A = this chain, B = another copy of it.
């Protein structure tokens, strides 16, 4: 029965893989061009198929958008749980959770989330996503409060602190490009260390992440070319490392 020693996935897993690929690609495009600015033809082109092919894996555009959000929330919930369990203080838990969240979001297989355009999701789907997001934010705020209680975090307005962190993190999708010289982990480490220092009760006297140290600060003035159809801001031009081919 099992041909090729199961090296080739069977049909149903292939279907699932294809659906995943659609979701990832769609998430990227939605988040760059905006949900309304992105067409299903764009997504299909990137995947090398025709638009109608997508409809075998996805009911319609809003179903796809919803799937992107669900996927992103899955990542958010999972990494948050990891953080809650691995850290010891509230501060550490936040750092672990959001570090993993960011790294995964911008990493190879991530679902670079979804700038929330109002009214892009509608009806029940919107309700479900908003409910999940609210729960996520509540848990995150609880970690801030835990940190304040255990003394690792300064007395701070938890909502404000949370919004600051989420802003800093989600903004990354606006400027980060994976083919730059910074890896997803580099960026994640540096950004989380920096952002959480803002409310650390005992802020470290120096920053340890690679990006804050071993990167020259001299030639940071260069700016990437934005003319390409899919260019997004990155350090590629500045560092002269990344290929300019996509």
Which residue in B32, B154, B200 is a CB contact (below 8 Å) of A117?
B32
Q: Chain B contacts of A212 at CB under 8 A?
A: 155-157, 160
Q: In the complex the two chains form, what is the Cα distance from A46 to B207 in whole Å?
A: 48
Which A residues have a C-beta under 8 Å from some C-beta of B?
A: 32-37, 115-120, 126, 130, 134, 138, 141, 145, 154-161, 163-164, 166-172, 174-175, 187, 190-191, 194-200, 203, 205-207, 211-213, 215, 217, 220-221, 223, 226, 229-230, 232, 235, 238
Which residues on B sit within 8 Å (CB–CB) of A117?
32-34, 37
Q: Is the CB of A194 within 8 A of B198?
A: yes
Which of B196, B207, B229 contacts A155 (CB under 8 A)?
B207
**Alpha-carbon gap, A223 to B134, bound state (A):** 7
Task: Indicate whether A171 sits within 8 Å of B170 (C-beta atoms), given known contacts A37-B120, A160-B191.
Answer: yes
What is the copy number of this chain in the assembly?
Answer: 2
Is the beta-carbon distance between A220 and B159 smaller than 8 angstroms? yes
Q: Please state if B157 and A217 are interface contacts (CB–CB under 8 Å).
A: yes
Listed by A's residue number, 8 A-B pairs whose Cβ atoms lie within 8 Å are: A33-B36, A34-B35, A34-B36, A155-B212, A160-B187, A163-B172, A167-B167, A167-B170
A214 CB, nearest partner CB in chain B, Å: 10
* Given contacts A34-B117, A155-B206, A172 and B167 within 8 Å (CB-CB): yes
| Contact present for A194 and B120 (CB under 8 Å) | no
Closest residue to A229 on the B side, CB-wise?
Answer: B119
Closest to A197 in B: B198
The residue of chain B having its C-beta at the shortest distance from the C-beta of A221 within the complex is B138
Q: Which residue of the partner chain B has the closest CB to A29?
A: B118
Contact of A217 with B145 in the complex, beta carbons under 8 Å: yes
Given contacts A34-B34, A168-B168, 7 further A-B contacts (CB under 8 A): A34-B115, A138-B221, A155-B206, A155-B212, A160-B191, A161-B194, A198-B198
Which 8 interchain pairs have the tightest Cβ spacing? A167-B171, A36-B37, A36-B36, A198-B198, A34-B34, A34-B117, A167-B168, A164-B168
Q: Given A164-B194, A167-B167, are A159 and B235 also a contact pair (CB < 8 Å)? A: yes
